[in-house]
Structure 1
Amino acid sequence: KSTILNRRFPTFYSRPLHKDQYSSDEELKKLSAPEKLSVAQTVKLFGNAGYKKRNLENIGKELYSLTQVVKHVSRNDDNSGKITREEDLYPKPVLFYNNGQLFEALRVGDNVKSELITSNLTGARLREQLQLFSDIAHEYDNYKEVGEGWQACDFMCFLFEAPWLWKIRNMYELSPSSKSREDVPLGVALIGQGRTGKSTLGKRLAAKLTGSGNFLDGGVFDAKNYALGKSNINMTITTVLSDYMYSAGPVNPMMIDDISPDLTTRPYFDRFIKEITNNRSLTQPLPSFIFTMNRREGDSKSQFSLKPEIMRRLWYLSFESTFAGDEDEREAKLNDLLERANDQLYRYCQVELAKFFNDVSPETEQKIEKDYLYPIKYVLKQAMDQFGMFELVKDYFDDNYDYSLFVGRNDWTMLINQAEVGADLTFIQQDGQLKAQINKQLFNKVSDSTARNNWSMMMERYFQYLPRKYRISYQYTSTGFIVDVANFDRWLNSDTLQQKYNSSEVARDAQKVNTDAKMTELLTRLTEAQEKQAHRHGIFSWLKKK
């Protein structure tokens, strides 16, 4: 070892002795453990000036420290394989609006050639693409335990109309009606548990239907994959999304798969989506965004915001139902859809939508105010009517899916089934209507004692489940809230709460009181009738004597 006792080892960052004999780190890994240890010991036994270190008992600790330092320096300095520019996360190709028409470029950037989007889709070829649109919707209706074709159809409508949403927002802002730009969502989120077809529709099919070359995975935003990423992936996603929305040019949506639902609960996302949707100065062409979110029961990170102000700006579409039917048949059908999927109908719709928005009458504006998806529905209906195909999707077009009307129905049904009358809920008569007072302790049954899922948070969440449209309940307090039994069951599309009341002692007592009251009334009437009859009999007897 005397050959290494010289000044050629100024610091521990110098090349190890044995590595000089090998050409790569991979070959270095082939060294036996004793050889590796020998190298480390040689370096650490002698200090920077070549003096021997005598305190050998600290060598083990110093070796551990050395390993940490070297790895840390290596990770910070190595960005190979990472995405280093934010623009590389933007959609490719990208669509731009100019003078009433859409243009396409390979990517965002200066001096990138763009071309006008055109379409020559007609006749039998147009019919084939319309059939594909219909088949995708029916795939999610026919091969699910509970049909979700409505959501699938609405998603495709949003996807096709997305480059024009900014025009509708401006139209709403100038409208004399109560509509405002916030009533046009700039994002859509496909929410559901695993293996329910969210990514298949929102990622694979959506990419093919729009010709997108980079539908992003949520993991791309991890600092391991994105050089500018933060340790907080949700914050990185919000930052990139905000920059894209303010990029002044692109109009097609940024699409991100497998986002954590709790992104929607973060204050910075709340600020971002309100700012971008409320900003009255943003009248220029504006893009949108599409999320898929995997919701896992019992996972605190799977809780998504149910605030009306968020759901107004980010359209939730539920994909909770699992696939059903013959698996081989279903897979064959899905593979057929993926093979047939292309962007021909998408391009056709962009050309037709450009014509549509170039001539919007006051009557048409009123229809758009009632349904912001009216423009794309109109274009698709006009095309389908050429072939007598509109009946295939007519029911889906009648109204837009409203997540607030469906979310939580199963949760509430199961919760009511667990409730104990008298302790968890109490039935009362109020304003001549049967009401149920939901007490706070009921929500301990769905609490896991974490900060996010304690009884107070769960009570608020279950209250937010109740859609305002049905006028079920108006406010809640720290002790609970009161619901209208009839309206609650109408929302659930069942008699869950009424049955709970009917089987309770309260109902039996009320029934007994009611029965006793009716019996008393009946006896009273019978007595009165007998008295009248006796009175008449007495009169007739008197007349006979006369």
Structure 2
Amino acid sequence: MLTIYDLKNKVMLNQPDFFNLVEGFDSFKGVSFVGSFKIIEKELMPRFKQIDLILGMEDQKTGKNLDQLFNVSNKVKELLSVSADFLDRIENQTLQLKFTKDELFHSKYFIVENKTDFIIFNGSMNLTQKALKHNHEMLWMYHGKKNDLQDLKIYEEHQKLFKHNFEKDSVDYLDRKIINNLYGKTRKQITAIIADEVVDKIQQNIVEVNPADVVKITNDAQQKEQTYELHPETVQKVAKELFTEKGNKRRNEEKAREEIKKIVFQDFSDSSENRVIKASELYPKPIWAYQEDKIIVEDENKLLHPLKVDENLVTEDDVRTFVRIIESFRFNKVKDESHQALSAFIYLMTAPMIWKIREIYRESNFSKSADQIPLSMVLIGRGTTGKTLLVRDYFKKFTGDNSHSLQYTEINDGNASRTDKAVKFLDNYLHSARFISPMIVDELNSNFLHSKVALNAIKQWSNTIQGIHNINIFAMNHNAGSREINNLEEITKRVYYLSFEAPWLPSSQQQINYNMLINDNNDHIYRYVVSELNKRLVNLTGEEEANLIDDYLSLSKNILSNL
């Protein structure tokens, strides 16, 4: 939800349309993290005669983000996706794109203007569809006249700032001199051109790279420290071809050029099942990742480090609150459904390690197929039976996830029977190859589990995905008269169904105040159980392995019962 405070009129604009506010202006300048060029082509190019953008960096990793420089694969993919008009405008400089030369750009500000007026925006919003339509974003805006002396002073100061950022602090995203060489070229030909450009920028010091930052992704020993940089694998490989483990430039330029091209070619040839999805393409932002037998979490300072759990983390009050949450599904309902609630929580606590358990199944001598571990849990049943209460109010806070409750209509652009977009959204998360945060979606369309697209995807995920991945948790209404649940064996072994049918008792008859439970709920138990589960999965005893093959939730149950 975008909120803008109008400084001139001293009024808060709730959920304004950003592009309606900039109608009538012909120049756009700004600093923003941009996930793709689509928004530039779709929203900016038709509106503005002149566009000058600094592509800032997504502040989700420690230190300075080197992806924009070293991610040759991504740059090639972006250039292959744009129109000839896009390249034409870069060449004639009516579209100027730059990125950070040295220090991290954390600013997000925009200046739109015409001959007489200007608007300055400043705040948290990046120039992405998620920021414009979904995220909680805050901006202030100042709409001024160029012939007003007071307004002119504000305008000139911001123009001066942007001029310095654009000319001194940034470097061209793409040298316009090579544009003519890109028209009609194949992916491999464009890769060769971009690889050469990256090497030139490094060797000629066009882009200043801090050796300490390079060491973090080129030196394997450094990567084992407590602060992590979760760069895509291809970025790490490219960096290692350009720099030594000590952060010094390699002398053999020609060898570096050829090796970078090979790395990118290999990245393109990887099958979709082996692809790696960037964090910037995922929404909501993942909370936890996995690397080198460690769970990687983000702290309040946006730094990533291994999860550490103090033995005193879980208090008696935490346990009491958890037990009362489960009991509320017994004492506050017409029929006892506490067993379903407890089962849902146990699956939730196992979720970050489902991928690891599936690996153990594949390697075990006890011969049980990994596809018998469901990658999705569906809380299904009548409306107002507690499914949304679980996924929205309990699960989110229990896992430490402060993002808004994600609705199916958001990931499918509506509640239509077609499920293509929702499947693609979920598929991206499952193929991140490093993120283990469960994807929780409310109000799943009842047609989803009958759709051929979704069914094929569920089977493919279960049969083919290996390595690190997350899982899906859905809440879905299934009222009287609804289409029958898909209970074919090929689905039921891959989807963990939990049914909630009993209505709540009248408020006056409910023994437990659920509002107090929501307030007291926290992520202590979740962190503890997942941390312990990871430790034990890394060093399983023979008995634990046998029990795990018999029941993939057995370790989680054991850890929880010992609290």
Structure-1-length-normalised TM-score: 0.50
Which of 163, 166, 186 is the matching residue for 2:352?
A: 163
1:289 pairs with 2:482: no
Counterpart residue number, 1:190: 379
Once the 2 structures are TM-superposed, how far is the Cα of residue 218 of structure 1 from its aligned partner? 1.5
Q: Between Structure 1 and Structure 2, which shows a larger proportion of helix residues?
A: 1
Indicate how the Cα distance of structure 1 residues 121 and 93 shifts in structure 2: closer, same or farther if over 3 A, else same.
Answer: farther
Aligned partners of 1:92 and 1:106 also within 8 Å: no
Aligned partners of 1:238 and 1:269 also within 8 Å: yes
Is the partner of 1:259 in helix, strand or coil?
coil
Q: Give me the whole-angstrom Cα distance separating, in 1, the residues matched to 2:381 and 2:323.
A: 22
Q: Give me the whole-angstrom Cα distance separating, in 1, the residues matched to 2:516 and 2:393.
A: 13
Which of 96, 100, 117 is the matching residue for 2:293?
A: 100
Indicate how the Cα distance of structure 1 residues 233 and 135 shifts in structure 2: closer, same or farther if over 3 A, else same.
Answer: farther
Aligned partners of 1:191 and 1:198 also within 8 Å: yes
Counterpart residue number, 2:341: 152
Q: What does residue range 214-253 of structure 1 map to in structure 2 within 5 Å?
A: 214=403, 215-223=405-413, 234-253=419-438
Q: What does residue range 101-500 of structure 1 map to in structure 2 within 5 Å?
A: 101-105=294-298, 113-122=303-312, 125-214=314-403, 215-223=405-413, 234-279=419-464, 282-300=465-483, 303-324=484-505, 326-328=506-508, 330=510, 333-383=513-563
Once the 2 structures are TM-superposed, how far is the Cα of residue 330 of structure 1 from its aligned partner? 2.9
Q: Give me the whole-angstrom Cα distance separating, in 2, the residues matched to 1:179 and 1:196.
A: 35
Once the 2 structures are TM-superposed, how far is the Cα of residue 332 of structure 1 from its aligned partner? 5.8
> Counterpart of 1:350 in structure 2: which amino acid?
V
Identity of aligned residues (%): 27
Q: Deviations over 1:498-536 (max 9, x none)?
A: xxxxxxxxxxxxxxxxxxxxxxxxxxxxxxxxxxxxxxx
Once the 2 structures are TM-superposed, how far is the Cα of residue 262 of structure 1 from its aligned partner? 1.6
Indicate how the Cα distance of structure 1 residues 94 and 355 shifts in structure 2: closer, same or farther if over 3 A, else same.
Answer: same
Aligned partners of 2:449 and 2:486 also within 8 Å: yes
Aligned partners of 2:430 and 2:471 also within 8 Å: yes
Q: Give me the whole-angstrom Cα distance separating, in 2, the residues matched to 1:377 and 1:97.
A: 22
Indicate how the Cα distance of structure 1 residues 248 and 93 shifts in structure 2: closer, same or farther if over 3 A, else same.
Answer: closer
Is the partner of 1:261 in helix, strand or coil?
coil
Aligned partners of 2:279 and 2:286 also within 8 Å: no
Q: Between Structure 1 and Structure 2, which shows a larger proportion of strand residues?
A: 2
Aligned partners of 2:433 and 2:467 also within 8 Å: yes
Q: Give me the whole-angstrom Cα distance separating, in 2, the residues matched to 1:358 and 1:137.
A: 30
Q: Deviations over 1:301-331 (max 9, x none)?
A: xx4311111011110000111112x514538
Indicate how the Cα distance of structure 1 residues 162 and 323 shifts in structure 2: closer, same or farther if over 3 A, else same.
Answer: same
Q: Give me the whole-angstrom Cα distance separating, in 1, the residues matched to 2:400 and 2:132.
A: 25
CA RMSD of aligned residues (A): 3.0
> Counterpart of 1:116 in structure 2: which amino acid?
P
Q: Deviations over 1:179-212 (max 9, x none)?
A: 1101111110000111101000122100010011
> Counterpart of 1:339 in structure 2: which amino acid?
N
Indicate how the Cα distance of structure 1 residues 268 and 253 shifts in structure 2: closer, same or farther if over 3 A, else same.
Answer: same
Is the partner of 2:309 in helix, strand or coil?
coil
Once the 2 structures are TM-superposed, how far is the Cα of residue 178 of structure 1 from its aligned partner? 4.1
Count of paired positions: 295
Q: Give me the whole-angstrom Cα distance separating, in 2, the residues matched to 1:24 and 1:287.
A: 40
Is the partner of 2:443 in helix, strand or coil?
strand
Indicate how the Cα distance of structure 1 residues 121 and 92 shifts in structure 2: closer, same or farther if over 3 A, else same.
Answer: farther
Indicate how the Cα distance of structure 1 residues 313 and 24 shifts in structure 2: closer, same or farther if over 3 A, else same.
Answer: closer
Once the 2 structures are TM-superposed, how far is the Cα of residue 267 of structure 1 from its aligned partner? 0.8
Once the 2 structures are TM-superposed, how far is the Cα of residue 248 of structure 1 from its aligned partner? 1.1
Q: Give me the whole-angstrom Cα distance separating, in 2, the residues matched to 1:374 and 1:358.
A: 15
Indicate how the Cα distance of structure 1 residues 252 and 170 shifts in structure 2: closer, same or farther if over 3 A, else same.
Answer: same
Once the 2 structures are TM-superposed, how far is the Cα of residue 258 of structure 1 from its aligned partner? 0.3
Q: Give me the whole-angstrom Cα distance separating, in 2, the residues matched to 1:183 and 1:334.
A: 35
Q: Deviations over 1:255-278 (max 9, x none)?
A: 100011220111111111111111
Indicate how the Cα distance of structure 1 residues 359 and 205 shifts in structure 2: closer, same or farther if over 3 A, else same.
Answer: same
Q: Give me the whole-angstrom Cα distance separating, in 2, the residues matched to 1:97 and 1:174.
A: 20
Once the 2 structures are TM-superposed, how far is the Cα of residue 176 of structure 1 from its aligned partner? 2.8
Q: Give me the whole-angstrom Cα distance separating, in 2, the residues matched to 1:329 and 1:342.
A: 26
Aligned partners of 2:282 and 2:429 also within 8 Å: no
Once the 2 structures are TM-superposed, how far is the Cα of residue 217 of structure 1 from its aligned partner? 1.1
Aligned partners of 1:262 and 1:305 also within 8 Å: no
Q: Deviations over 1:480-505 (max 9, x none)?
A: xxxxxxxxxxxxxxxxxxxxxxxxxx
> Counterpart of 1:364 in structure 2: which amino acid?
E
Q: Deviations over 1:379-435 (max 9, x none)?
A: 11222xxxxxxxxxxxxxxxxxxxxxxxxxxxxxxxxxxxxxxxxxxxxxxxxxxxx
Q: Give me the whole-angstrom Cα distance separating, in 1, the residues matched to 2:498 and 2:280.
A: 28
Once the 2 structures are TM-superposed, how far is the Cα of residue 175 of structure 1 from its aligned partner? 2.5
Structure 2 unmatched runs, 5+ = 1-20, 24-127, 136-277
Indicate how the Cα distance of structure 1 residues 195 and 167 shifts in structure 2: closer, same or farther if over 3 A, else same.
Answer: same
> Counterpart of 2:390 in structure 1: which amino acid?
L
Indicate how the Cα distance of structure 1 residues 231 and 199 shifts in structure 2: closer, same or farther if over 3 A, else same.
Answer: closer
Q: Give me the whole-angstrom Cα distance separating, in 1, the residues matched to 2:550 and 2:22.
A: 66
Structure 1 unmatched runs, 5+ = 1-22, 26-77, 225-229, 384-546
Which one has the largest radius of gyration? 1
Once the 2 structures are TM-superposed, how far is the Cα of residue 89 of structure 1 from its aligned partner? 5.2
Aligned partners of 2:532 and 2:559 also within 8 Å: yes
Indicate how the Cα distance of structure 1 residues 147 and 83 shifts in structure 2: closer, same or farther if over 3 A, else same.
Answer: same
Indicate how the Cα distance of structure 1 residues 258 and 201 shifts in structure 2: closer, same or farther if over 3 A, else same.
Answer: same
Indicate how the Cα distance of structure 1 residues 174 and 265 shifts in structure 2: closer, same or farther if over 3 A, else same.
Answer: same
Is the partner of 2:447 in helix, strand or coil?
helix
